[in-house]
Amino acid sequence: LAPSVPKLAQPAGTPLVHSSLPCYRKSRSCSHLASASSTAPGSTTMKPQPLLTNFIQSKEEYDALYARSIADPASFWGDVAEQFHWEKKWDPDHHSFNFDVTKGPINVEWFKGGFTNICYNALDRHVMTGHGNQHCMLFEGNEPGSDGAMTYTQVLDEVCRLANWMKAQGIGKGDCVAIYMPMVMQLPIAMLACARIGAVHSVVFGGFSADALAGRMEDCKARVLLTCNGGMRATKKIELKQIADQAIEMCASRGHTVDSVLVFANHKDGVAGAEAAGTPFTQGRDAWWQPTLAEFPALCDVAWVPAEHPLFLLYTSGSTGKPKGVLHTTGGYMVYAATTTKHAFQLQPGDVFWCTADCGWITGHSYLAYGPLLNRAVSVVFEGVPTHPTPARSWEIIDKYQVKQFYTAPTALRSLMRSGDEWLSSTSRQSLQVLGTVGEPINPEAWHWFHDLVGNGRCPVVDTWWQTETGGHMILPLPRAWPAKPGSATLPFFGVEPVILDDKGVELQGECEGLLMMRRPWPSTLRSVYGDHKRYEENYFGPYPGYYFTGDGARRDKDGYYWITGRVDDVINVSGHRIGTAEVESAIAAHHDCAEAAVAGYEHPVKGQGIYAFVVLKEGVVPNDQLKKEMWTNVRTTIGAFAAPDVIHWAPGLPKTRSGKIMRRVLRKIAGGQENELGDTSTLADPSIVRQLIETRN
């Protein structure tokens, strides 16, 4: 690589440790050495009893551990981190931070002095302890019947081959590698291969355009791109390589060169030439994944990196503005992602775990790739969509693989609910033990459908509130430890200290509602916005000095449970009443004919703001005034007359980001009649919906 390529910074003054454990095979062939404990200088031989190895059984147990996590976070997380392999152990005073912009630059450090590798912990550790033949990933293709599986050993082999190929392209510690792939097993493999050699991955969701891919590759100066010829989502063919080529050209026209492209031949037998048919291919720059990697050794040394070594960059979904390149580092992210996965889902080694998120989003990073593998689970990778070929597909996959934990988004649940309950009847879903949701507040209607019908009333529903920036779950009900309340994410995870502020920045106590902030860092706090530390400081720490600002509003009830009320920008002020969008939406969606609702505020001459509701009806329901009345009544009786919508717009659909979130700023503009000021809508899944909404406005 050209020497001018900036590497993501190592923390100043930290020496690099070179591998003292050359490769996993050395240990694999010595199975009597079936221990991951380190022999490196500086590591301890006597490990303290690790913390959080067992599931939390009760609220009392949680309370005691939570108190400890807040009283002494460094020792708490140090004890949790004992479960992982550290090539060199962290310093006794490993944790430091500044969350107050008025006191200097914002910074967060965990496990300072420690050296580890997340790929080693996710793969080698399990192979070394005799679990190499256990399944690591199960692949379900777009079409029923197209499937596959890989064991931990097979995944490790492929990770090593890919890591060696990347090294041959000059990629090393701190270099950024772009990944643009559909949901195939090679996507998590690509992430792990980067981590193995200390490279920094930047996964770009496979549904993004050439423009979005180019912008992200330029931003992180990626000279290597890992991609795929194409993929299928339902009946739609996605020509990834064509889009990737356009993106590379765009980069070139702006002075950034992508030198090497490795192309995984999806749904093909892996023979070069066969794949080439129909796929654009540039000799000298492009190589086919399967035949190329077959030439590289399945052994690759681990790069031991400092705990604060950058692990990945990932852009937020762009619901509220231009996406931010969130930077996560190695040690804290590893410990936190693994620990939340284990406790949120009561995950045991060998469990078949299905997270439906794409690896293009943080949920796919933490709860499809890293979290499950760090816990030696079997992670399901699904290339298709839940409605193809029928809305029974998810339930069929659950039965087929005997999935124990199923983690999905409220938007997916609402769309399946909309198709009708009959799609559940051909499946049993008896294997399920824990259900989870993420991405948006889950309205009680969808919560009950998930709990009562999908889970047959047997499985706790874990509503996880968190963000790209937080790396892992922040507020969630630990299953079977305390009672859930549908629509509430309930209580903070260990080490997470939420604070509710009023808009003047005063901390509110007890039952209250306001801005959701965090007083202290947790291990997987974002460390920066890539290339723009100032934006990081201004965006997250500027609004209320001394706190991390989540951008979300929340209410705390008498039991201390948190209810996310929506984005702070979306709080509507009607005649002095502050109303969270989520509450109004839940009340409307409780009507059995409503498939989905989104509300936005608009300027109102009398009330300050009025409430404008976009309502999508279930299939086959004909809109009429009686329905409007019933929905109004629902809002009046559950919240109060002041929250009743001024306008109900029968919407053909809602503008959603490619991660399935409602882009509310677009709705606000439509509600306010400012359709000429829609702003950046490049992350919308279906931009045509905007025009349809404008046309159907009353």
Binding-site ranges for ligand ATP (CB under 6 A): 316-321, 323, 438-441, 463-468, 489, 550-552, 564, 567, 659, 661
As a whole number of angstroms, the distance between CA 538 and CA 554 comes to 21
Integer angstrom CA distances of residue 383 from 199, 203, 368, 570: 26, 16, 13, 33
Strand ranges, E, within 188-335: 200-203, 224-228, 231-233, 236-238, 260-264, 286-288, 305-306, 310-315, 325-329
**Shortest distance, position 677 Cβ to ligand ATP, whole Å:** 18
Question: 222 forms bridges with which residues in the sheet?
Answer: none
649: left (phi over 0), alpha (psi -120 to 50) or beta: beta
CA dihedral 494, 500, 501, 506 (to 10 degrees): -80
Among Mg ion, ligand ATP, none, residue 574 binds (CB under 5-8 Å by kind)? none
Residue nearer to ligand ATP on the CB measure, 383 or 469: 469
In this structure, the strands spanning 548-556 and 528-529 are unpaired
Residue nearer to Mg ion on the CB measure, 316 or 657: 316
Among ligand ATP, Mg ion, none, residue 231 binds (CB under 5-8 Å by kind)? none
**Shortest distance, position 318 Cβ to ligand ATP, whole Å:** 4
Q: Rg of the chain over CA atoms, in angstroms?
A: 25
Among ligand ATP, Mg ion, none, residue 317 binds (CB under 5-8 Å by kind)? ligand ATP
**Shortest distance, position 688 Cβ to ligand ATP, whole Å:** 21
The Cα angle at residue 283 between residues 278 and 285, in degrees rounded to 5: 110
Whose CA is closest to 203, among 316, 9, 361, 337? 361
**Shortest distance, position 487 Cβ to ligand ATP, whole Å:** 9
Counting beta carbons within 10 angstroms of the beta carbon of residue 69, is it exposed (0 to 12), middle (13 to 18) or buried (19 or more)? buried
Q: 428: Cβ–Cβ under 8 A, 6 or more apart, which residues?
A: 399
Phi/psi at 382 (nearest 5 deg)? -115, 120
Percent helix, percent strand, percent coil in the chain, to nearest 5: 35, 20, 45
**For Mg ion, what does the binding mask look like between residues 315 and 354, x meaning CB under 5 A?**
-x--------------------------------------
Question: 596 forms bridges with which residues in the sheet?
Answer: 616
Among Mg ion, ligand ATP, none, residue 552 binds (CB under 5-8 Å by kind)? ligand ATP
DSSP state letters, 429-449: -TT--EEEEESSPPPHHHHHI
Furthest C-alpha separation in the chain: 78
Residue nearest to Mg ion (CB): 316
Residue nearer to Mg ion on the CB measure, 484 or 568: 568
Q: 647: Cβ–Cβ under 8 A, 6 or more apart, which residues?
A: 602, 610, 611, 612, 613, 671, 698
Residue nearer to ligand ATP on the CB measure, 137 or 481: 481
**Shortest distance, position 321 Cβ to Mg ion, whole Å:** 9
| Residue among 91, 147, 259, 569 flagged as catalytic | 569
Among Mg ion, ligand ATP, none, residue 22 binds (CB under 5-8 Å by kind)? none
Residue nearer to ligand ATP on the CB measure, 391 or 553: 553
Task: Tell the residue number behind the tokens 């309340």, with chain if given.
Answer: 485
Residue nearer to Mg ion on the CB measure, 569 or 675: 569
Do residues 319 and 567 lie in contact, with contact meaning Cβ atoms separated by under 8 Å? yes
**For Mg ion, what does the binding mask look like between residues 272 and 311, x meaning CB under 5 A?**
----------------------------------------
Residue nearer to ligand ATP on the CB measure, 138 or 564: 564
Question: Which one of 89-97, 130-138, 238-246, 314-322 is the stretch in contact with Mg ion (CB under 5 A)?
Answer: 314-322
Task: Tell the residue number behind the tokens 């045509």, with chain if given.
Answer: 688
**Shortest distance, position 55 Cβ to ligand ATP, whole Å:** 21
Residue nearer to Mg ion on the CB measure, 316 or 634: 316
**Shortest distance, position 468 Cβ to Mg ion, whole Å:** 7
**Shortest distance, position 490 Cβ to ligand ATP, whole Å:** 10
424, two tokens: 């559940």
DSSP state letters, 527-588: -EETT-HHHHIIIIISSSTTSEEEEEEEEE-TTS-EEEEEEGGG-EEETTEEE-HHHHHHHH
3 state SS of 526:
coil
Among Mg ion, ligand ATP, none, residue 323 binds (CB under 5-8 Å by kind)? ligand ATP
Residue nearer to ligand ATP on the CB measure, 78 or 206: 206
Find how far residue 492's CA is from the centre of its chain. Answer: 18
As a whole number of angstroms, the distance between CA 217 and CA 315 comes to 12
596 to 625, contacts with Mg ion by CB under 5 A?
none
Among Mg ion, ligand ATP, none, residue 229 binds (CB under 5-8 Å by kind)? none
Integer angstrom CA distances of residue 49 from 54, 71, 79, 128, 346: 12, 19, 7, 21, 20
Residue nearer to ligand ATP on the CB measure, 357 or 643: 357
Among ligand ATP, Mg ion, none, residue 38 binds (CB under 5-8 Å by kind)? none
Do residues 429 and 456 lie in contact, with contact meaning Cβ atoms separated by under 8 Å? yes
**Shortest distance, position 185 Cβ to ligand ATP, whole Å:** 23
Among ligand ATP, Mg ion, none, residue 372 binds (CB under 5-8 Å by kind)? none
Do residues 388 and 234 lie in contact, with contact meaning Cβ atoms separated by under 8 Å? yes
**Shortest distance, position 12 Cβ to Mg ion, whole Å:** 30
Residue nearer to Mg ion on the CB measure, 132 or 566: 566
Residue nearer to ligand ATP on the CB measure, 386 or 436: 436
Integer angstrom CA distances of residue 324 from 72, 216, 219, 409, 535: 31, 10, 11, 22, 9
**Shortest distance, position 319 Cβ to Mg ion, whole Å:** 6
If one counts every other C-beta atom within 10 angstroms of the C-beta of residue 646, the result is 15
Residue 569 annotated to the active site: yes
Question: 179 forms bridges with which residues in the sheet?
Answer: 203, 226
**Shortest distance, position 439 Cβ to ligand ATP, whole Å:** 5
Question: What is the enclosing helix (H) or strand (E) of 691?
Answer: helix 688-696
Binding stretches for Mg ion (CB under 5 A): 316
Residues that are catalytic? 569
